[in-house]
Amino acid sequence: MKRKPVKSASRTFEVLELFRDRRAPLRLNEIYSALGYPQSSTTNLLKSMVIEGYLNYNRNTRTYLPTLQVASLGSWLYGHVAFGSGYSWLIDELYRKTDETIVLVTQNDLFIQYVMMRVPDHPHKRPPNPGEMRLMLDATSGMALMSRMRDREIDKIYRYSNYYELNPDRRITLEDVMSRIRWIRHTGYVYWPEHPVPGIASIAMPLGESIHGIPLVIGIGGTTARLSPRRAEFVEIMRDTIAEFRGRFPQDQHVPGDEDDLEIAAE
């Protein structure tokens, strides 16, 4: 049984993501051609988004463009995360010390989601998009998050991920997952050289903190050729910088709850 999103909601966000990628006004035919939607349903969707104030329609050029109402939806959250809690400082410091892609990641149900990041100017990178999601079982940050959970919570995530066939081509056994988790609990970090993207590696550490109860992970990403020789150095940099961050920005530490506290939408 594969979990399927509600089509209308999914298409609404895919339209907005298309504008995020193109960063320019788009005509109707450009939108439905790029997304593979039927013309009639695309027309109705765009009209609804105009009526609700999320898209602007220019009759002279026959183009659509998101309005500032879209930007306002989450603007409060970024300011709270980036500046109110000091995470912007943490990301900037790690970026300055490593010159690699730095990401702040949260859990979102069975997935991880990239909340904030800073990307270097050099070409040795392949960063995700802000807001992009990946299955927890198939991500360095996901393994780091699960290392702070009870074993029964990890088992539940594993079973639901397989039940909904979220990752059929890269399925790993529960024994493999728990073996990795035990190592992460021992060392305090994850290093994943066989990243799903060939030639890309990543290092992740659980912060032991949360945003409104949602646990956080900090990660470094880059090419395997750059990260592998400096793994030990980067791990020490992360530990030292996180320790300094906690001294500068004291916060309530996240304490993993009981198994029943893990909210999974499948239930």
Q: How is 75-99 classified by DSSP, letter by letter?
A: HHHHHIIIIISSHHHHHHHHHHHH-
Domain stop point among 15, 44, 66: 66
pLDDT given for residue 78 in this prediction: 56
Q: For residue 1, what pLDDT is reported?
A: 39
Going 140 to 135 to 215 to 255, the CA torsion angle's sign is negative
As a whole number of angstroms, the distance between CA 131 and CA 105 comes to 9
What pLDDT is stored for residue 109 in this prediction?
Answer: 87
Question: Do 56 and 94 have their domain in common?
Answer: no
In whole angstroms, what is the distance from residue 23 CA to residue 27 CA?
13
For residue 33, the enclosing domain spans: 7-66
Q: What angle do CA 244, 212, 53 make, to 5 degrees?
A: 120
Q: What is the mean pLDDT of each run of 10 residues along the chain (267 residues)?
A: 60 91 93 93 92 90 90 65 74 96 91 91 85 88 95 93 70 89 96 78 90 87 94 97 90 42 39
Residues 152, 248, single domain; the answer is: yes
pLDDT at 259: 38
Whether residues 86 and 105 fall in one domain: yes
State the pTM of this model: 0.70
- Output the pLDDT for position 267: 37
**pLDDT value of residue 123:** 87
Please tell me the total count of domains within the chain: 2
Question: Has residue 2 been placed in a domain?
Answer: no
CATH number at residue 230: 3.30.450.40
Give the pLDDT score at 90.
94
CATH number at residue 27: 1.10.10.10
Residue 55: exposure state from Cβ atoms within 10 A (0-12, 13-18, ≥19) = buried
| pLDDT of res. 75 | 64
What is the reported pLDDT for 92? 95
Whether residue 266 is contained in a domain is answered as no
- Same domain for 202 and 156, yes or no, is yes
Report whether 86 contacts 249 (CB < 8 A).
yes
The helix/strand count (H/E) of the chain reads as 10, 9
